[in-house]
Each structure stands twice: as C-alpha cells, then as structure tokens.
Structure 1
Amino acid sequence: MSTSSPLTPSKPLGLEMIVYYGCPHCGRKTPLLAPTQPAMAQCDACGRQFPVAPVDERTVRFVKTMLANGHAAVDPDYV
C-alpha cells in the first residue's frame, strides 16, 4: 500500500448568488440562482410554478467584483 500526502484544500473557481423566493402555494423557501430577468420558478416541494421578480444585475456584478468572483471569500487561514 502506498502512502499518499494529504490533499490541499481546493479554492473557489467562481461565485454565484442564490436568492430565496417564497412559494405562494405552500410557503417553502425556493432557491434560485439570482435571476436577472423576470422568470417562472418551480417549487421543489409542491411542484407548482410561480412568477419571480428579478434581482438587480448591477448588484450581482458588484458582489462578484467585491469578492473577486469567490477568490477573496477564502478563509485567510487557508490562503
């Protein structure tokens, strides 16, 4: 049996924002990847669809820029 060295923790390759929308049919928090256009969501609990309001694309870009697309969000102990 060969001994292997411990794996180095993988660092983020990118960043996405998840936004939660309340299902108007059953009340469940439904996660979506920050929709920047009006869209229809499907609840993963009851399966029914409902319209969602988009998020501001500039805000999403700002957060991604401030966190260097995930690179700046790494715990300093692992840099």
Structure 2
Amino acid sequence: MNGHFSAQSSTSSRLEPYVPQPVELAGYGLVDLAAGYAWEEARITAYATNLFDKEYFLYEYGPGAMATLGDRREVGIRLDDRF
C-alpha cells in the first residue's frame, strides 16, 4: 500500500507585461492512494488519484474566460500479468 500527497501554493496564472491584474490561482492539495497484491507472475492493484475529487485550476486566462481544470478523481483496478 502506498499514498502520495502533493500541494501547490497559490500562484499567478499569467505573468505578461500587458496584463494589469494577473489572475491568482488558489492553492490546492491532492491525495493519491494505491494498494495491491502480487503473485509470482501477476499483480493486482486498486488505486485512486485525486481521492477527494478536488476541483482546481491549472490555468485561467481571465475571469469568465478560458480556463484549464486539473484532473478529476479516477478510481480503478489494474491487473498486470507476465507470460
């Protein structure tokens, strides 16, 4: 079993000379978890990324304009097999 926490402090989205008021993006924290079991030839892993489905912006052009959202929660099971 493993887990990962990543944090991003608030930051400006656009640092360009002609932008008088850069858009300030809020800080956020993300939690990822994974747990699995392995045999001689196979491994099964259950995982979750962005466990708490935190909505966060990676980029924002301006208020009410284009923006890029970060990844949503993903939950899954993966099976790896060697043959």
Q: Compute the TM-score of the two structures, normalised by the length of structure 1.
A: 0.25
Greater helix content:
1
Q: Compute the TM-score of the two structures, normalised by the length of structure 2.
A: 0.24
Greater strand content:
2
